[in-house]
Every structure is written in C-alpha cells, then in structure tokens.
Amino acid sequence: MLSRRRVVAGLAGLFLTNALGGESAQALTKKKSSSKVNPTTSSVTKPEPLLPSVLDSSVLSSPTKQVVFYAPHPDDELLSFGVIASEYIALGYEVIYVLLTSGSTSTAIKLINGELASPGNGTRFVYKGMHNPAISGYTPLTVEEIGRARVTEFKSSAGEMNVTPQRIHTFDLLKDNELHIEDVVGAMLGIVALYPQAIHWTMSTIDIHPHHRAAGESLRLISEGTELLTGYSISRTTWEALTAERARLNTTLPSTHLFKPSADRMQRVRNAALPYNAWNPQAGSFAVGYASVPKQFEDLDSKSDAQYSTTAPTLESVKVWIASI
C-alpha cells in the first residue's frame, strides 16, 4: 500500500516534470497545451438544449468544465460511465478518456478462436454457435491481438461519445493479470497534472472486480487530503452484493447515488455500444466486448442507469466483505 506521503511527493514531482510512464515530457507538454480550455474557443463543446442534469452537484463543479474517466478495461468507459458521460457531453463538458489496460486477458478469446461455443445468452444481439476461423478467413488471435482489437473497439466507441483522439490516453498496465496500485497511481498522477481542475472518475473500491478496485484505490490515494474532484462508479455486477451488504448494516459502505439520464441522452450511448458488437474479421473487428459481457451491454441499453458515489472507502476497510462474495 502506498503511503500518503509517497503519493503527495509523486504528485508534486509530476507537476514539476510533466513526466508519465511511456510518454515523454515533451509529448505531455504538447497534450497539456492542446487541452487547455479557453471559454472563447471551441475546445468546450457547446451545450445541447436538453433537460438539466440530476447528477450530484459535487460532480458538476469543475471550473474548466472538464471530466476525466479512467477505465480499467475497454468497455468500462461505456458500461459503467456511459450514461454519466452522456450527461456531461450534453452539458458542454470536455470529456477525456484514459484506458488503464488493453483487457487482453478477456475470456472472449476462446469464443473468437472457435475453442468454445457461444450459448447466445437468449438474446437476438449476441452471436450463437461456434466460430470457425478457417472458414471465416482469419487466424486465431493471440492474447496481444485480442488486446489490440479491444483498444480499437474502445477508440471507436469513444468517437461515438464525442471524445476526440486528442483526448484519449491509453496505457497497458496489466502484469500477470494484475493491476498494481503503484502503476495506476503513476499513470493517474500524470493525467491529473494535465487536467488538475477536472472531475476525475474511476471505478469504486467496493466493486467486485479486482482491477476496478485497484483503480478506485489509486484515485482515492491521490485525492486524499487534496481538493481534487472525484467520482466513483459501481459496476452493475456489484449492485446486488451492495444491496445485501446494506441489509447487513455494513458501515464501511459509502452513500451512493442512482442516476438515469433523460431518454434523449441515450442515443449517443447506444451508438457507442455498436463498435463492441461489430463482427468483421476481415477488417479486424471481433466483437470482443459483446462476446465478453453481452448481458451488461443489453442492461445498459434497456435500463440506462448508473450507480456512483463521490467518495470511496479504503481497500482495507472493505476487504472482508469483498472476499466473501
């Protein structure tokens, strides 16, 4: 676990050097200058004439009208943040996406390579049956190729959410299928240096997925004792367990907000889901997102809601109940 002193020291160092693993200080300086918000320019999207937001006021207080979403894997930015991001976009915010891993360890590789049949999960949107790479004209994918295909889906989906390539930052921090807090803190500190007055969102420390929790703990450490604006989304797969813990009067849980945007926000989100279900092997599209978690995509479409908190408990405080799930 990183100490608060080490995190603060790292934050100060990165503000001074503009250094970030995998990218030069010169490259970051260029990104920073291109991302500055000037109210007299078009760098902030003109607000759409739609209904007012019902997001908590604390996550609508960025003076620069910038918001950063840190996604542990490709598709998290849509499945967990999509309806929230659509609200910010409609309100004229500049949205920035940060991808922490390529998600190359997805079990979808067995479905795509024809090693496992897809049951279809009872819907008309999900492929059902067994892929045959030889007949379809593609070579079975390696783990690295799955990662590249997922990043392509992520970037294509980002475009449908009005996030330009200049506002996308990608990392591949996964090591032996683990996301280490030290690595995530380093990446996040560099992004915070670029967008210090933005609202910074990632997954919660109470989330079931360990990669999600690592991202949440990293942002919590960075923001502790600072004025950094934060939000923590909770993936739908955790909601049932969270309800059960509340029934047990678990006092370690943060208060959460349910958010459902007006219906006219959702078309953008639905458009952004399409790249994740695009099957065109000849063009390098393998519908990895939908192959991985089809039900989550369809719940996003039909339920169109999100659950989030503005704070996150420490990993240590939630360790016991998380381990029991």
**pLDDT tens column, 303-313:** 999 999 999 99
Residue 34 in this model has a pLDDT that exceeds 80? no
Closest CA to 1 of 155, 220, 212: 220
Cβ neighbours of residue 45 closer than 8 Å, sequence gap 6 or more: 89, 92, 93, 94, 162
Report how far residue 69's alpha carbon sits from residue 82's, in angstroms, rounded to the nearest whole number.
Answer: 10
Q: According to the model, what pLDDT value does residue 77 have?
A: 98
Q: How confident is the model at residue 103 (pLDDT cuts 50, 70, 90)?
A: very high
Question: Which two tokens mark 3?
Answer: 């100490």
Segment 239-259 shows an average pLDDT of 92
Q: According to the model, what pLDDT value does residue 54 have?
A: 83
Report how far residue 224's alpha carbon sits from residue 233's, in angstroms, rounded to the nearest whole number.
Answer: 18
* pLDDT tens for each residue of 224-245: 999 999 999 999 999 999 999 9
Mean pLDDT of the chain: 86
**What are the chain's domains?**
64-323 (3.40.50.10320)
Residue 147 in this model has a pLDDT that exceeds 50? yes
DSSP bridge pairs for 280: 285
Q: How confident is the model at residue 29 (pLDDT cuts 50, 70, 90)?
A: very low
Cβ neighbours of residue 87 closer than 8 Å, sequence gap 6 or more: 53, 55, 259, 261, 265
Q: According to the model, what pLDDT value does residue 320 have?
A: 86
Segment 136-148 shows an average pLDDT of 95
Q: What are the φ and ψ backbone dihedral angles of 323, each rounded to 5 degrees?
A: -65, -25
Report how far residue 197's alpha carbon sits from residue 218's, in angstroms, rounded to the nearest whole number.
Answer: 18
Residue 246 in this model has a pLDDT that exceeds 50? yes
Report how far residue 225's alpha carbon sits from residue 30's, in angstroms, rounded to the nearest whole number.
Answer: 29
Q: How confident is the model at residue 53 (pLDDT cuts 50, 70, 90)?
A: low
Residue 38 in this model has a pLDDT that exceeds 80? no
Lowest-confidence segment of 51-60, 81-90, 270-279 by average pLDDT: 51-60
Please report, as a single letter, which amino acid is at residue 181.
I
* pLDDT tens for each residue of 60-99: 999 999 999 999 999 999 999 999 999 999 999 999 999 9
Residue positions counted in the chain: 325
- pTM listed for this prediction: 0.85
Q: According to the model, what pLDDT value does residue 143 have?
A: 95
* pLDDT tens for each residue of 179-236: 999 999 999 999 999 999 999 999 999 999 999 999 999 999 999 999 999 999 999 9
Residue 6 in this model has a pLDDT that exceeds 70? no
Task: Assess contact for 241 and 209: CB atoms under 8 A.
Answer: no
